[in-house]
Amino acid sequence: MVEVTRDLPRSADGLAMDWIEVPFGPVFPGLPGGLKLTLTLDGDGVTEGRARTLVGMANGDDGNGQLKAETFVERLASATPLAPVSYRLLACLAIERAAGVEDDPATARARAGALERERIASHLGWLAQSGRQLGFAWLTDRASTLQLGIQNASQEKLIELEPALQALANRLGRTPLLKARLKGTGVLPAGSSGLRGPVAVAADEAGDAWARLWQRLAESTASLDVIKSTGELGLPALRNIGHASGIGEATVETPRGLAQLNLKLEHGRVKSYKLDTACSHHIGLVAELVEGRELGDALVAVGSLDLSPWEVLS
């Protein structure tokens, strides 16, 4: 027996065990489609893990330097299906600044309202996904129903839905099993860098999955307050830039954190660009987040990051 187990890796308790590498995704309950999570298991414990995207965006030149500005906006929005409004706005702002187009307050307010509506819908989508992962069917049903109602709602309709959003938050606060499952799970290692959005703000609190949940709920409430003051919402559309040339830079606080776009415009066409996204940084947290955890806790921790595989640069 000693000879058989001599070269096997040792578990934390000193036992010699076969370690197996197990893939989760690209389709797995509680994780976003397109994300491949690979965990090395020692029994039901995780010894190491890594995550990668199968649907990530390319970064840099468009390939031939002949991409029309309008086409670039549409392409960036369609490449990020979990936050199309955010990236449409990001592209519009960068191109308009490169062209020297002055800001218009009314347009900015309408765009801000659409962005905050998407933030609420995105956070509800994450809640529905979390409910599916944790086995809370009522949470999945209620969050997904609200998400569908909010995605294309007018300002008036969004204000009408405020009591339903508050009722959901109250129900979450009165669910001790949910708190017991998330509190203390997914605590980020000390000194974690590159944090953005809800993950960064929650790190200043407990830094666990429970704190990230409540940060997203707080952001949803704040987004509704912004929507109340913006007037009617309007999807971002590129303003007239003619055949302008220049260099532009823009940042947008997407539902998952800050995204930045730098681009070069030549005669109304995007010559080159450089994109930076929150999820490109957050995906690197997975390895330290899962190491040494029980399998169930590791999956919940990864899910709490709300990674969008489409927003990871490949």
Task: State the pLDDT confidence band at 4, using cuts at 50, 70 and 90.
Answer: very low
Q: Is the pLDDT score of 174 beyond 60?
A: yes
Ranking 50-64, 216-230, 299-313 by mean pLDDT, the lowest is 50-64
Please check the confidence at residue 3 and state whether its pLDDT lies above 60.
no
pLDDT tier for residue 57 given thresholds of 50, 70 and 90: confident
Structural domains in the chain, sorted by start: 67-311 (1.10.645.10)
pLDDT for res 155? 96
Say if residue 34's pLDDT is above 80: yes
Residue 81 pLDDT:
96
Sign for the pseudo-dihedral over CA of 218, 223, 226, 228: negative
Classify 68 as helix, strand or coil: strand
Average pLDDT over residues 171-186: 97
Positive or negative, the CA dihedral 92, 95, 96, 97 is positive
**pLDDT, position 16:** 54
Q: Region 178-200: what's the mean pLDDT? A: 94
Average pLDDT over residues 261-273: 96
pLDDT of residue 61: 58
Q: Tell me the mean pLDDT in the region 165-194.
A: 94
Cis preceding-peptide flag for 26 (omega within 30 of 0):
yes
Give the CA-trace dihedral at 38, 41, 46, 50, to 10 degrees: -20
Residue 13 has pLDDT above 80, yes or no: no
Mean residue pLDDT across the chain: 92
Q: What is the pLDDT of residue 64?
A: 54
Q: Is residue 121 predicted with pLDDT exceeding 90?
A: yes
Please state the rounded mean pLDDT for residues 100-114: 96
Report the C-alpha gap between 145 and 167 in whole angstroms. 14
Q: How many CA atoms lie within 13 A of 232 on its CB side?
A: 1
Q: Residue 277's CB: how many other CB atoms inside 10 A?
A: 29
What the block records as the tokens of 287 is 């390895």
Q: Which helix (H) or strand (E) holds 38?
A: strand 35-42
Percent of the chain with pLDDT over 90: 85
What is the mean predicted confidence (pLDDT) over 78-89? 97
